[in-house]
Every structure is written in C-alpha cells, then in structure tokens.
Structure 1
Amino acid sequence: MENSILFQDAHNCLLEFDKATSLFAVYDGHGGHEVAQYCAQSFPEYIKQRETFQKGDYIQALKESFLGFDETLATPEVVTVLKRIADSKDDSGCTAVVALLKDQELYVANAGDSRCVVCRKGEAIEMSLDHKPEDDVEMERIVKAGGKVTGDGRVNGGLNLSRALGDHAYKQSENLPAEEQMITALPDVRTLMINPDEDEFMILACDGIWNSLSSQEVVDFVRPRIQEGHLKLSQICAELFDHCLAPNTLGDGTGCDNMTAVIVQFLPALSSTETKNLKRVALPIENCTEDASVKRSKTEESDLSV
C-alpha cells in the first residue's frame, strides 16, 4: 500500500531544453518515489538523444522515448540505481505527462492520469487524456493481456491507472509487444499551435489536483490570480494546493494525495515596433515565466523566469 505521508512525485522545468525548445513534466509516483525521481533525472536527456527528436519528428520521438525509457527501467544497471534510492521493496512506477514547446508548437505526451491543460481565453483546453482501467479501450487491452479490472477500477485489484512507466510486474506477457501489455507506457500525444494573443498559460499537474477540481475549475482558479499580477506563479500553486487539500482524512481520500503542479505563463506577442527595437527576439513561448511548487508532507518551491 502506498504511504500517502511520503512524497512520491517529481517534475522537470527546463526552459532551455534545446534550441528554441522548452520541456516541462510531472511524474506521479506510486509504490515508491524511485521511478519518478529517476525519470526527472534522466528522461529529458533520453528524449533529446533520440534520432527522431534530432530530426524534428517530435510526436514519434515522444512515443519512442516513453516506450524505450520504460524498457531501460527494467535493465540490471537501472534496477541497481532504483534499488539504491528505493523507499519500498515493491514494484514501483509513475505516471508521466511531458510538454514540449518548440517555437510556437506544443506537444504533450501522457501516460497515466496526470494531466496538461492550456488556458485559451479562459477556456480549459485539455492536452491529455487520463488513462483509467475502466475506459473501454484500456479495459479491452488489459483483458486481452490476461488481466482484469475490479469493480473499484483497479488492474488486478492493484493500480487505478492503465498506463505508466515502470510497474513491470504488469508487463510480463512475453508474446505481447510493449504497447499491448496490461499496463503500457505508450503515450497519447496531442499538439497545439500556441497563439500568444489567445493562449495565456498551461498547467501540468498530478491527479491529486484533478481528483479535487475539474480542468475548467483549475483554470478558473488560476486565471484571475495571474491577471491580478501580484502573485508569483509558485504562490498561485500553493494557493491551489490549499484549495484542494482536504481539512482532514476522514472523507473518501479526495484532497489527501500528493500534489504537484507546474504553471507556465505565455507572454503576449511583441508588437512590430517592439520587435524592431530588439536585436534578438525570442518567440513568445520561449518568453515564458514558470514556477513549480509541490506541497504535501513537505513543501518545495522553485521559481524560474526569463
């Protein structure tokens, strides 16, 4: 059983991930923090090293990276590393939602039930799909792989999500490819052209947020606080966590989970006059202000801005 007192999430905030490219990610660990922590340390570089990434085929690069990196998590070398940082002897894993900003193009890859949402003129645009065992497509794959979904929406009575990195105990069908296992790391990838005149910010967060609030409710909470202009994004994250946090643990568990969120604010496009006055002008999505904060049994905050 997962210990909710232990913080098991991790995140990436890489404004200068590659040329004209930023990367943001949230990893929600379960069964231990080691896979999420290792992903935060090593997954971005793994993505960058893919030949498809270097050629600019970002959709394929993200799919290859999720599946390929998941395979590396089961290699003896990486297993040794994971055991060294492990807080549990159980098979562990994590969700992963990764947002790649290349010029004005947004690519979001997701495996699990963490989520990415873009605010477009106050409307929540969901850039990822939660992967739950009770969904028809997910359940069909699980059953074909020899598993079952219990009445409470869990795979073989265990995980309450159907895609993840790690969790290799659910990936033991030797006659099936990785994308057809009970639990698969294959991500869905969605794209969006960022319009600096309409798109205001995006938020990546784990299910500790989304179990408490809908995508639109999160946008409605964050947007006016950004518009007021006197709070750092990390402070808005902290207020969001407090808003989601249950007053006690006597309820159904909503508001008692680990919470991680990354808010990325898109700055407006520069006017032609402003552009002429600058020797070098970065594209709007590079001119973003980002803060990430996490809060549960311990609090960590980091502020980055450009």
Structure 2
Amino acid sequence: IKEKLVDVLDHLLPPLEGCTSATVERVARRGIALWFPEKEISIESLIVGALESAFWDMDQLIAEDRKKYKIKGGCTALVALFILGKLYVANAGDSRAVVCKNNQALPMSNDFTPESERQRVRQLAALRPSLLGADFTHLDFNRRPVQRDLGKRILYRDAYMTGWAYKTVSAQDLKIPVVNGEGKRSRVLATIGVTRGFGDHDLRALNSTPVKPFLSSQPEVQILDIMNENIDDSDLLIMGTDGLWDVTSNERAVETVKKSLSTQQQLRTL
C-alpha cells in the first residue's frame, strides 16, 4: 500500500508555472513526476485507487508465490488508513470495521458474502456458464426443486431479475444453484461462505469446478472526513473478523470496548 501511495503522491505534484516543453523534458529526466490531467481528479479518488490496486497486486502476488511455496487457502482483508485528515477503510470479505463516534456505532464496511453478492455471482455465472461445470446453475429458486417437482411451476429468478416469476421445472433446474443457502449458511458452489479476499486460487468445489473465478480481491473503500467531524479521545475504531461479529453486534462491541477502556483508565488513576 505504501508503494502505491508513493506513486499517487508523486502524481499529485502540480505542473510548474510557465514551463516549456524543454523544461518538462529536463524535469522528467530528473525523475520528477508532472501531472497534466485532462479532467479533474480528486485526492480521494487517487487514494482509493491506490488501495484498490494494492489489493489486486497482493492477490496476484499470492497467485505467483504459490508456484514456489506451499500456499493453500485464503483470507479476508481489512485495512484502515489515516491520511490527510481522513480515514479510509478498505474491506474485501466479511471482516468489519466500526467507528465509535459520540458513543454511537458507525459501520465503515459491508460484509461481502454469497448472500450479499448473490446477484453479482449469478450474473457472472449466466455470462460465463462454462464456469459452472456440469452440476451448478445460475438460476435462483424460492426453494430447491427436487425430482418430484419436474413439470410443476415454481418461483424462480434469473440473473437479470431482482423479483420473482414462475417457470416450469425441467431436469436442468435440479442442478445446485451457484449461490445456495441463506444468511451465514449461504455458499458459492456449495463450498465457500465469503466472496471477496485474497488467495483461494486453487480452491475447487467437490466436482473439481474452480471457485476462484467467482471470488474478488476488489475492496470496498469507505471514507470518514475526520477533520469535519467532532472527534475526541473517547472515539475509536474497532476492526475484527467474522469470529467477533458472528457473536456480537456493532453496538455491543462498542459498549464492551468503551467499558474496558473506562475500567483501565480507572485502574491507572488509583
């Protein structure tokens, strides 16, 4: 991430006033970056781009390193970056960041699971059916059709649908939906319960269908302008994996941390 930010900050240098083409060439030879934008680009978008490209590069590095080292599995990724008076939180997976501000829990990330990304995964499956192998379908049903449902009408939705419609069940509809299950039990290709993160390049479903094409290392980046917020020493940032958030709410986590910090402060004053 540091490397990407250095690239961005270099390109934030404004053009020199009154510089000629010869000056530009001379400065370029000295290694000073000049930025002549065709359209206005905000500093925020450059920092977001640095985070996004760093996530992508990290995932590609894992893909390359697994050829030299024994690297199996994958992980979620959650990064908090404080820069230029703002907090940037980049999240890929179901880890979570929560800001406690004025004793209120402010979510700074969304969980990326088969449930929350059902439509993206199904649309990819519809566009590239070869990724599904022989055992999966991109269609979604209000309940999983079985053999006795053949020829009957059942509620379904295609990849381009957000609502439901009826269709007559055929043998093809008995395949496993690419996203199956609900809530924390939802899975992609009946295998994995998270849709963004690093690694899992060799993960396969039981029928040897690769899972990685349906996973993404792209983070969602949320921004909090600290300079324009009434932030004090009592405000804090909580970051945790799903192991924490599966057993507690954002509000309960904030309450617990605040209580713990208060107790520590009281002990120090004794």
The alignment's TM-score, normalised by the length of structure 2, stands at 0.56
Q: Counterpart of 2:66 in 1: which secondary structure?
A: helix
Q: Does 1:101 align with 2:82?
A: yes
More strand by share: 1
| Identity of matched residues, % | 30
Q: Does 1:52 align with 2:46?
A: no
Summarize the alignment of residues 259-274 of structure 1 with structure 2, pairs less than 5 Å apart: none
Measure how far apart 1:65 and its partner are.
1.1
Deviation per residue, 1:137-191 (Å, 9 max, x gap): 44435534535122231111221101111112369xxxxxxxx940000110000
Q: Does 1:63 align with 2:44?
A: no
More helix by share: 2
Q: Counterpart of 1:157 in 2: which secondary structure?
A: coil
Specify the code of the residue in structure 1 equivalent to 2:191: G
The answer for unaligned runs of 5 or more in structure 2 is: 13-42, 133-177, 205-211
Cα pair 2:122 2:179 within 8 Å, conserved: no
Q: Counterpart of 1:119 in 2: which secondary structure?
A: strand
Deviation per residue, 1:61-91 (Å, 9 max, x gap): 111111122112112xx225642xx5xxxx3
Measure how far apart 1:197 and its partner are.
3.6
CA shift in 2, pair 1:116/1:58, >3 Å: same
What do you get for the CA RMSD once the two structures are aligned? Answer: 2.8
1:113 corresponding residue in structure 2: 94
> Which of 126, 133, 144 is equivalent to 2:114?
133
Q: Does 1:162 align with 2:195?
A: yes
Higher-Rg structure is: 2
| Structure 1: distance between partners of 2:113 and 2:259 | 31
Measure how far apart 1:127 and its partner are.
0.5
Query: More relative contact order in 1 or in 2 (CA 8 Å, sep 6+)?
Result: 2
CA shift in 2, pair 1:191/1:126, >3 Å: same
> Which of 190, 206, 223 is equivalent to 2:258?
223
Measure how far apart 1:93 and its partner are.
0.9
Measure how far apart 1:198 and its partner are.
8.3
Specify the code of the residue in structure 1 equivalent to 2:245: W
Cα pair 1:164 1:183 within 8 Å, conserved: yes
2:179 corresponding residue in structure 1: 149
Cα pair 1:164 1:184 within 8 Å, conserved: yes
1:186 corresponding residue in structure 2: 218
